[in-house]
Amino acid sequence: MIEARQLSKRYGDMLAVDGVDFSLERGEVVGFLGPNGAGKTTTMRMLTGFLPPSEGTASIAGFDIFNDPIEARRCVGYLPESPPLYPEMSVKSYLSYVAKIKDVSRGERRQAVERSLERCGLVDVRNRVIGTLSKGYRQRVGLAQAIVHEPPVLILDEPTAGLDPLQIQEIRELIAELAAPAKGETQQTVILSTHILAEVEAICRRVILIHQGCKVVDAPLSELTAEGQSLEELFVRETMGRSSAREERA
Ligand SMILES: Nc1ncnc2c1ncn2[C@@H]1O[C@H](COP(=O)(O)OP(=O)(O)OP(=O)(O)O)[C@@H](O)[C@H]1O
Ligand SMILES: [Mg+2]
């Protein structure tokens, strides 16, 4: 469902992402970890077609981001670090607008919007203006716009950053539900970045850890924690002492 092949991104002299390879099957939920500045957001932006790679390529649901960019983007729901919400629009009209630009047909648009409102717990605020919502609710709107066209692939950049514990739990449940849906609904492939390791333990079955632009760990969560080792220990061991070196040099 997601294939990254030698993905690299260079900013001036700095190699922000350095030959990252991975392949995700349908229905996999992967925690994408790494210290600040490791290259997570840069990698996700390349996968979603927002940022051209310096080298390498990727494909989404079999569509290459270079050769079939429109198809590839249609198959992705993306929650960026700071979602580009329109503060003066109502929640419902914004979602309807996103559905339209994601090519949801006119006849299906209303239902798609209703569904994403429901799934993200936004029914009661559907007519509110986005700019007046709390941060947590704006984050939910960000998630709703990522899923409104029911893409097979979800790329979520720190989906629970800044939320209260209750909302974190709700968003986690929603993500888990998207990956293991009720009968008759399609399973989604999810890659999510986070600094909350408990979140990875709660919802992800696989972990990819990047450090200074390179993939350093890619394994099932069960394997990584098999000998009583915590993810925190793994994270520290794999990134220790070097995490901010690049940022300091920059
Ligand atoms: N537009 C840009 N121009 C120059 N350097 C950039 C740009 N965007 C990102 N970088 C650099 O690329 C590196 C990777 O950044 P990125 O945002 O991908 O990290 P991240 O893993 O998402 O970090 P965080 O956990 O803080 O969100 C950093 O050193 C960052 O300063
Ligand atoms: Mg980031």
Domains within the chain, CATH numbers bracketed: 2-75+152-249 (3.40.50.300), 82-150 (no CATH)
Residue range 49-61, pLDDT digits in tens: 999 999 999 999 9
| Residue carrying the six token digits 């008759």 | 184
Question: Closest Cα to residue 20, out of 45, 43, 37?
Answer: 43
17 CA from centroid of ligand 2 (Å): 12
> Per mean pLDDT, which range of 29-33, 101-105, 215-219 is the poorest?
101-105
pLDDT given at position 218: 97
Contact 234, 214 (CB under 8 A): no
42 CA from centroid of ligand 1 (Å): 6
The residues facing 209 across adjacent strands are: 33, 217
- Under the banding of pLDDT at 50, 70 and 90, the label for residue 131 is very high
pTM, full prediction = 0.91
Examine the pLDDT at 165 and tell me if it is beyond 90: no
Evaluate: CB of 160 within 6 angstroms of ligand 1: no
Residues in the chain: 250
The protein residue whose alpha carbon is closest to atom 27 in ligand 1 is 36
Distance between CA atoms of residues 206 and 238, nearest Å: 16
